[in-house]
Amino acid sequence: MSEPFEPKIVAFVCTYCTYAGADLAGTSRIKYAPNVRIVRLPCTGRISPMFILKALQKGADGVLVSGCHPGDCHFAQGNYHARRRWTVFRSLLSFTGIPEERIKFSWVSAAEGAKFAELINDVTEQIRDLGPFEQYQELQKVIETQSSY
Amino acid sequence: MTRILLHDRLDDCLAAWRSSGFRVLAPTRRDDLTRFDEVQGAAEMALDIIMPERTIKDHFFLQTEPMIRYRIKKQEIDTEEMLPPEQKRLFFGVRPCDASGLAIDDQLFGWDYKDAYWFQRRENSVIVTIACTKADDFCMCTSVQLSPDSTKGSDVMLHPLKDGRGWQVVTLTDRGKGLVDGIASILQEDAAEAAPTASVPVKFDVDKVASWLADPASFESHLWKEVSQRCIGCGSCTFLCPTCHCFDIQDEGDTYSGIRRKNWDSCSFAMFTMHTSGHNPRNTQSTRWRQRIMHKFNYYRGKFDVNSCSGCGRCTRQCPVDMGITETLQVISNLPR
Amino acid sequence: MGIQEQYRIEAAELLSSGAVKLVIGYGQGSTPDRRRPVFIRSAEESKQLLLDSYCVANLSGYLVPEGLLSDGKSVGVFLKPDGIRSVNILTAEAQVNPDQVVIFGFDIENGNTKPLSGRKAIDFAPLIESMKSTGLSPELQHEADRLEQMSASERFEYWKAQFAKCIKCYACRQVCPMCYCRRCIVDVNQPQWVNTSSHTLGNFEWNIVRAFHLAGRCVACGGCDRACPVNIPLRLINHRMSKEALDAFDHFAGESADQKPVLATFRQDDPETFIL
């Protein structure tokens, strides 16, 4: 008797756009999947690849990173720097075999409450279809168990 | 007449050992690296090489070893010791230098506190060495009072036959005898001669080195800076050394649960002696290099009457900038009296 | 007169005249085919300098340690074009004053060494610029292609097997001229971002983090790959990052001393093919 797989998704979002958009989804009473754990940063420019690695290390099946549209960053340039970082990091993860489909990036503005809800629902379903991130979690289990010799 | 084991009967031995509960590990090349790993047959073994790139130390003093699992609840902490599994292991084809490394470290791990992780593995393991018939420019066992057929740390020693058909089998310990008795029907009596062991020229006078190191004036010698200029402070030499044994305790987990681990550490690392105050008594590479040499050939000798070195030469063989202890010891050995 | 003799004489002259306080070059290693870094401080010692096709290491990393250049004096160093690019990057990142670096430039072609004319990094600008147009190493690309053709899970299994070998000796980091952080991210334990333990997960994370920090900064000198005692093909992963920086941002590491670091700048029209 096994429960259906509920993906664990961590979303790193910026305060002034995506988080505000999420708030708007809430106040507008738009339902979205409960699988996402939101971590609020001041700006996507603050998001280090370390955060994404840490989320995977702690058992996330998928990671979403979202911020202001280019040109609309509250801090003027943060999301431009973030975009470059993500381009590089994404190709690195892909090269080492960590599926690109599990790490997602988006621009969601403060006015886009409905878009945020739709985004979360879509991402959740896509990660649900991919299943638990077993490969990475296997590496975890190697830590947990005693050494084999 | 001695007992010999023919090459083409080795698989029968492995089968016999496995059926008596041993996991058999031998030098094997996998993923572009030679190291000790579990093998199913003789064909997987890489016995012709000088020595595997990694040592058997890896299987007794793990590069990362879970010690305790902890779980934190409201007012209590539950801990569970994570000792190694009770698994019999047979190490086949060990070089005498690697085997001696285990014996040298036995003294440290059993000194003021018996390290259960080390000894549980030691007690469950049998070491079958093969004497060396060839060496390379980096080998220096003869300089540290060992030899290509040293029996230190070994339970059974195999001597390659001159005619190349197999090995002479010499039982050295009770544990070894138990192992050999189990394959007695596979061995045969033969008058075949053993091949001569490798010729390894002595490169330095280790006693002279030790007495120079023990002289307090040597501590401040300008020699340390001169010999270590190119050292980049990585951990290669220490991690590949059969006798190096420094470790760091790290807790990995979160507020609710985690595992305390023992990880390899290296005196070559800049942060090795960093105090929480921010003071670092060994804050230059030359002081760290001095520590390495002093520890191996002065402090360890003083405490345990043995050099903390097996003469395998991996430190020089693998060093990215051609350091390694041999040259430093040669320089010291050649100092005018 | 061969290049080795020529450079020995020049090194001796610069040292005796006081123009440089130190020359970092190659000397005889512990076996006939090994060369090691040597530190020459007098005209007499310059006889130790060797220059041949075994001299492949990138010596620019020895310029960075704290205090070497703080007395304002100059240091001579033997560098191939990859090392000269390293000096450009170190200059751009404010780690080295290029006026204090006197370069003995050389390259290795078909097993022979040939001199490159120039004294300061800026003298080699035309050569370095021409390197950009030839692009990255085709041999490395060929090896990397084999990996690119695998499926993601095959790649994961490949790197899992490779990184399982890692012992966290940090030889890759120590030998790299670009890894000069006084406190590396793995040595930060408040918080501990990257597990220091050398289990497969910790090794995976370490190698990913280092490759990321080298994106757009690696000059493919091969130092890390040669230094790795367990033969992990680090050249492939760093090459992939260089390729991404070149393809996405037209960034060739070390192109000039005033090149802005690739992740510290941006263009408004940077590619964003992956945004949902």
> Model ipTM?
0.93
| Structure confidence at residue B1 (pLDDT) | 78
The DSSP bridge pattern shows strands A62-67 and B2-6 to be: unpaired
Compute CA distances C63 → B234, C12, C75, whole Å.
17, 19, 8
Q: How many CB atoms lie within 10 A of CB C93?
A: 15
* B residues 124-153 closer than 8 Å to A (CB): none
C contacts of A99 (beta carbons < 8 Å):
152-153
* Same domain (yes/no): B32, B154: yes
Query: Which residue from C minimizes the CA distance to A81?
Result: C266
Mean pLDDT taken over chain B: 94
Q: Do B320 and C223 touch (CB under 8 A)?
A: yes
Q: Do A149 and B84 touch (CB under 8 A)?
A: yes
Contact indicator for B98, B150 with CB cutoff of 8 Å: no
Q: Do C270 and A84 touch (CB under 8 A)?
A: yes
Best of B29, B30, B33, B55 to disrupt the C interface (most C CBs within 10 Å) is B33
Q: Do A88 and C215 touch (CB under 8 A)?
A: yes
- Of B165, B190, B215, which residue constitutes the final position of a domain? B190
Q: Is the pLDDT of residue A148 over 50?
A: no
Task: Tell me if chain A has a CB within 8 Å of the CB of B87.
Answer: yes
Sign of the C-alpha dihedral computed for residues B215, B294, C35 and C60 taken in this order: negative
Task: Tell me if chain B has a CB within 8 Å of the CB of A147.
Answer: yes
* Same domain (yes/no): B124, B53: yes
Q: Is the pLDDT of residue A143 over 90?
A: no
Q: Do A147 and B23 touch (CB under 8 A)?
A: no
* Same domain (yes/no): C118, C19: yes
Query: Which residue from B minimizes the CA distance to C229?
Result: B318
* Same domain (yes/no): B139, B214: no
* Same domain (yes/no): C114, C181: no
* Same domain (yes/no): C111, C155: no
| Structure confidence at residue C195 (pLDDT) | 86
Domain-embedded: residue B309: yes
Of A47, A39, C31, C134, the residue nearest B138 (C-alpha) = C31
DSSP SS3 for C36? strand
- Of C77, C109, C134, which residue constitutes the final position of a domain? C134
Tell me the sheet residues that pair with C38: C25
Nearest to C197 among B238, B252, B324 (CB): B252
* Same domain (yes/no): B265, B179: no
C contacts of A122 (beta carbons < 8 Å):
276
Q: Do A149 and B59 touch (CB under 8 A)?
A: yes
Q: How many CB atoms lie within 10 A of CB B175?
A: 15
Domain-embedded: residue B199: no
Q: How close is the nearest chain C Cα to the Cα of A98, in Å? A: 7
Domain-embedded: residue C276: no
Q: Which residues constitute the domain of residue C14?
A: 3-134
Nearest to A146 among B25, B84, B89 (CB): B84
Within 8 A by CB and 6+ apart from A24, the residues are A110, A111, A112, A113, A116
Counting the structural domains of chain C, the total is 2
* Same domain (yes/no): B170, B120: yes
Contact indicator for C101, C87 with CB cutoff of 8 Å: yes
- Of C77, C107, C134, which residue constitutes the final position of a domain? C134
Counting the structural domains of chain B, the total is 2
* Same domain (yes/no): B257, B165: no
Domain-embedded: residue B198: no
Q: How many CB atoms lie within 10 A of CB B234?
A: 26
| Long-range contact set of residues C44-49: C-beta below 8 Å, sequence gap at least 24 | C46/C8, C46/C9, C46/C11, C46/C12, C46/C15, C47/C8, C49/C4, C49/C7, C49/C8, C49/C11, C49/C23, C49/C25, C49/C78
* Same domain (yes/no): C58, C118: yes
Q: Do A143 and B259 touch (CB under 8 A)?
A: yes
- Of B166, B190, B214, which residue constitutes the final position of a domain? B190
Give the domain ranges of chain A: 9-144
Q: How close is the nearest chain B Cα to the Cα of C174, in Å? A: 6
* Same domain (yes/no): C130, C142: no
* Same domain (yes/no): C46, C147: no
Our CA angle for B44, B48, B49, nearest 5°, is 100
Within 8 A by CB and 6+ apart from C132, the residues are C252, C255
DSSP SS3 for B262? strand
* Same domain (yes/no): B216, B184: no
Check residue C186 and report its DSSP letter: G
* Same domain (yes/no): B147, B223: no
The DSSP bridge pattern shows strands B125-130 and B89-94 to be: parallel
Fold of A9-144: Rossmann fold (3.40.50)
Best of A142, A143, A147, A148 to disrupt the B interface (most B CBs within 10 Å) is A147
Pairs of CB atoms within 8 A across A/B: 24
C contacts of B321 (beta carbons < 8 Å):
36-37, 57, 175
Burial class (CB in 10 A: 0-12, 13-18, 19+), B6: middle
* Same domain (yes/no): B256, B186: no
Q: How close is the nearest chain C Cα to the Cα of A35, in Å? A: 18
* B residues 29-58 closer than 8 Å to C (CB): 30-33, 35, 53-54
Task: Tell me if chain B has a CB within 8 Å of the CB of A143.
Answer: yes
Domain-embedded: residue B200: no
| Structure confidence at residue A2 (pLDDT) | 67
Mean pLDDT to the nearest integer, A45-73: 94
Check residue C96 and report its DSSP letter: -
The pTM for the full model equals 0.94
Pairs of CB atoms within 8 A across A/C: 124
Nearest to B316 among C30, C187, C202 (CB): C30
Q: Do A84 and C205 touch (CB under 8 A)?
A: no
> Which residues of chain C are modeled with pLDDT < 70?
none
**H-run or E-run covering C26:** strand C22-28
Q: Which residues constitute the domain of residue B315?
A: 206-333
Nearest to A146 among B59, B66, B89 (CB): B66
| CA A93/CA A86 separation, integer angstroms | 10
Domain-embedded: residue C226: yes
Domain-embedded: residue B87: yes
| CA C156/CA C161 separation, integer angstroms | 9
Place of tokens 């000069």: C180
Of C271, C155, C243, C234, the residue nearest A99 (C-alpha) = C155
Q: Do A147 and B65 touch (CB under 8 A)?
A: yes
Q: How close is the nearest chain B Cα to the Cα of C209, in Å? A: 18
* Same domain (yes/no): C146, C218: yes
* Same domain (yes/no): B34, B168: yes
| CA B69/CA B81 separation, integer angstroms | 6
* Same domain (yes/no): B110, B249: no
Mean pLDDT to the nearest integer, B58-66: 92
Task: Tell me if chain A has a CB within 8 Å of the CB of B35.
Answer: no
Q: Is the pLDDT of residue B157 over 60?
A: yes
* Same domain (yes/no): B6, B143: yes
Q: How close is the nearest chain B Cα to the Cα of A71, in Å? A: 38
Q: Is the pLDDT of residue A146 over 50?
A: no
Mean pLDDT to the nearest integer, A14-38: 96
Between C193 and B203, residue with greater pLDDT: B203
Our CA angle for A13, A18, A21, nearest 5°, is 145
Q: Is the pLDDT of residue B193 over 70?
A: yes
| Structure confidence at residue A141 (pLDDT) | 66
- Of B157, B190, B223, which residue constitutes the final position of a domain? B190
**Six-digit token string for C114:** 């040939």
Domain-embedded: residue C32: yes
